[in-house]
Amino acid sequence: MKILPTRAASVSRQGLCTALLVASLTAAVGVSPAHNTADADDPAKDPKNPQGLPHGTPNLTLPDLRPKGPAGLPGARGEGKDDAKDAATGIPATALDAYRKAAQRAAADMPNCHMPWELIAGIGNVETHHGTYQGTRMTSDGTTDKPILGPPLNGNGFALVKDTDGGVLDGDKVYDKAVGPTQFLPSTWALYGADGNGDGKKDPNNIYDAALGTAKYLCAGGKDMNSAADLDKAILSYNPSRDYVNAVTSWMRAYKEGNVPSLPDLPGTPSGNTPPGDRTPTAPQTPGTSKPVPPSKPTPPSKPTPSSPSPSPSKPTPPPNGGNDKPGGGDNKPVPPAPASRLERVGESRVWEAYAGEAFKEQARVVARDKSGKPVADARVRFEIGGEAGAEAAFADGSTTITVSTAKDGTATAPRVVAGLKGGKVTLTATVVGRDIPAVGWAGMVKVRAAKQIVVVDSSKLKAERNSAFPDRIQFKVLGEDGKDVIGAVVTVSVTKTDGETVPKEGGPYFKGTDGKPVRIVKAGTTDKDGVLTLPKLLADDKAGAYMLRLETADGKVETVHLTVVATQTQTPPTTPPATPTPPAPKPTA
């Protein structure tokens, strides 16, 4: 998953020209055949894993070395108050959606991995700047309009990896190349490729598929991203470079700080380098070059149409499957949609409910009928999830739209819906593709469990010296009935005096507000999929003493913990030596 010539930015936040942290990886010697590692095995332990050998030059620019620029324009130059943190940490909307859905799918399929979407985003940024490398854009379904290919792995500056896929994915029948937004090698994609958008294909050039494949690869072997050792091992299996690990984790932390604007996509147009169907190059590449050999031109028909700017066949090529996604359509006439005239909901008409992060027990089910009331088979029913902002939900594969064909009895059942990580209302609607008939819908409510207990994850972080920061970022875990994790709990945090109620007007520990000024009451956000809340950075001023940290959930659960700010410990030598004791006077003799 490594690529390509280095992209560089060179302006620091102080406006000085700063050399970027870019490392050139040395070549590995020897042939690396396709690895036969099963999904359950750990690629980090496979010395022949070609994905973990040097096969490109990643972009190792760190978040705080990004140039200044107007918000929403990553890397744009400019001075003034529009400091580019928003721009630097912004992610194109389609890529951001893909990362989040991949993590949600990973949470359902590999719950012990604890995969954060911010880690996938860090990989995507360092590898190809979220699939936008060298002006590449994405079509509406998240597929790049031209393949992003790494250099041929011919042993010249990178690893030697001979062809494993016949050039199907990378267009090279001699050597392998890394492919797509997260730079998979063909042999790795064969094992960890995924269908992240539910279209029935596994395409490394699609950001949804690539993001889910990245999650699967990083989690392989039972690794847990909550473990620092496993996290380190997972990233090193992607690229054997400490600088690479530092870059990925720096971006991951920047995204976890919460300032991640969704940047507008620049929609792409499929190029001549992206053939239809699988959208992967098929023409072989010349060894030693990263440019694909142009495909041969089609032979024009004997009688081209005079009015056409270029020759075209006398009969137009029909759209795939007759233009309506229905099997058949071998002739040029579109196959009409099934004659459904109404759609009926099956089951009780009641509001669905689920706790945040858990699946709804109910599954949406409908029946399509014709005008006479008979069930219609093979009607294509589209199920789509919507809802309030923040109250996200998705099908088990992470998608929000899926199409299902009705069975012989006219019924179609949607996959199970998984609630997002925040409370609120969600909706599910069903429509018949190609028929203008009323939709049917379901109303769902994502609830948050009642908080029964709030515990600090590491109490050693509750002590700091004056004019310093408390160690790392303090974390709390919110638990409900029977010790279950409370996902989506909204928590307000206050710094108070020792009574646990009074907020100091001046002095004492503080958080930094959006304007950079000290604040002591903050909306700290919501608990994550593990019921954990990570507070903003807590700082100490020059006031030493005892304080309290007060946490209150939206449902009224309150917990307080002690904070201590101590003076810097110094050893001062005594100014005068201790007095020498006077010996006792001798006793008189008789």
- What is the pLDDT, as a whole number, of residue 588? 55
Counting every residue, how long is the chain? 590
Most confident residue range from 53-62, 291-300, 514-523: 514-523
DSSP track, 70-82: STT-TT----SS-
Per-residue pLDDT averaged across 497-519, rounded? 90
Q: Which residue has the higher pLDDT, 255 or 494?
A: 494
Q: Which two tokens stand for residue 382?
A: 């589209």
Q: Which residue has the higher pLDDT, 571 or 360?
A: 360
Edge-first strand order for the sheet with 532-534 is: 453-456, 475-479, 532-534
Please say if the pLDDT value at position 302 is more than 90: no
**Confidence class for position 177, pLDDT limits 50, 70, 90:** very high
- What is the pLDDT, as a whole number, of residue 135? 83
- What is the pLDDT, as a whole number, of residue 102? 94
Q: What span, in angstroms and rounded, lies between the C-alpha atoms of 228 and 522?
A: 28
Please say if the pLDDT value at position 366 is more than 60: yes
**Confidence class for position 67, pLDDT limits 50, 70, 90:** very low
**Confidence class for position 65, pLDDT limits 50, 70, 90:** very low
- What is the pLDDT, as a whole number, of residue 389? 64
Lowest mean pLDDT among 26-30, 395-399, 506-510: 26-30
**Confidence class for position 413, pLDDT limits 50, 70, 90:** very high
What is the reported pTM?
0.42
Q: What span, in angstroms and rounded, lies between the C-alpha atoms of 430 and 425?
A: 17
Q: What span, in angstroms and rounded, lies between the C-alpha atoms of 310 and 247?
A: 48
Q: Which two tokens stand for residue 297?
A: 């031109």
Q: Where would I find the H helices in 206-276?
A: 207-219, 228-236, 242-256
Under DSSP, the state recorded for 227 is S
Please say if the pLDDT value at position 229 is more than 50: yes
Which residue matches tokens 């593709």? 433
Per-residue pLDDT averaged across 158-179, rounded? 91
Please say if the pLDDT value at position 120 is more than 80: yes
Q: Which residue has the higher pLDDT, 20 or 528?
A: 528
Does residue 179 contact residue 285 with C-beta atoms inside 8 Å? no
**Confidence class for position 10, pLDDT limits 50, 70, 90:** very low
Q: What span, in angstroms and rounded, lies between the C-alpha atoms of 552 and 266?
A: 42
Q: What span, in angstroms and rounded, lies between the C-alpha atoms of 50 and 124?
A: 19
Does residue 99 contact residue 117 with C-beta atoms inside 8 Å? yes
Please say if the pLDDT value at position 259 is more than 50: yes
Q: What span, in angstroms and rounded, lies between the C-alpha atoms of 446 and 389?
A: 12
Q: Which residue has the higher pLDDT, 197 or 53?
A: 197
**Confidence class for position 117, pLDDT limits 50, 70, 90:** very high
Per-residue pLDDT averaged across 339-344, rounded? 90
CB atoms within 10 A of CB 348: 6
Question: How many alpha carbons fall within 13 Å on the CB side of residue 471?
Answer: 10
**Confidence class for position 39, pLDDT limits 50, 70, 90:** very low
Q: What span, in angstroms and rounded, lies between the C-alpha atoms of 90 and 491?
A: 26
**Confidence class for position 349, pLDDT limits 50, 70, 90:** low
| Displacement of CA 538 from its chain's centroid (Å) | 26
- What is the pLDDT, as a whole number, of residue 267? 60
| Helix (H/G/I), strand (E/B), else coil: 241 | coil
Q: What span, in angstroms and rounded, lies between the C-alpha atoms of 50 and 36?
A: 11
DSSP track, 375-400: B-TT-EEEEEEEESTT--EEETTS-S
311: Cβ–Cβ under 8 A, 6 or more apart, which residues?
A: 300, 301, 304, 305
CB atoms within 10 A of CB 268: 19
Beta strands in 370-461 (DSSP E): 380-387, 393-395, 401-405, 411-413, 417-419, 424-432, 440-447, 453-456
Q: What span, in angstroms and rounded, lies between the C-alpha atoms of 74 and 84?
A: 7
Using only C-alpha atoms, what is the Rg of the chain?
30
Distances (CA, A) of 296 to 277, 283, 311, 348, 559: 18, 9, 15, 59, 70
Question: How many alpha carbons fall within 13 Å on the CB side of residue 235?
Answer: 28
Burial class of residue 294, CB neighbours in 10 A (0-12, 13-18, 19+): exposed
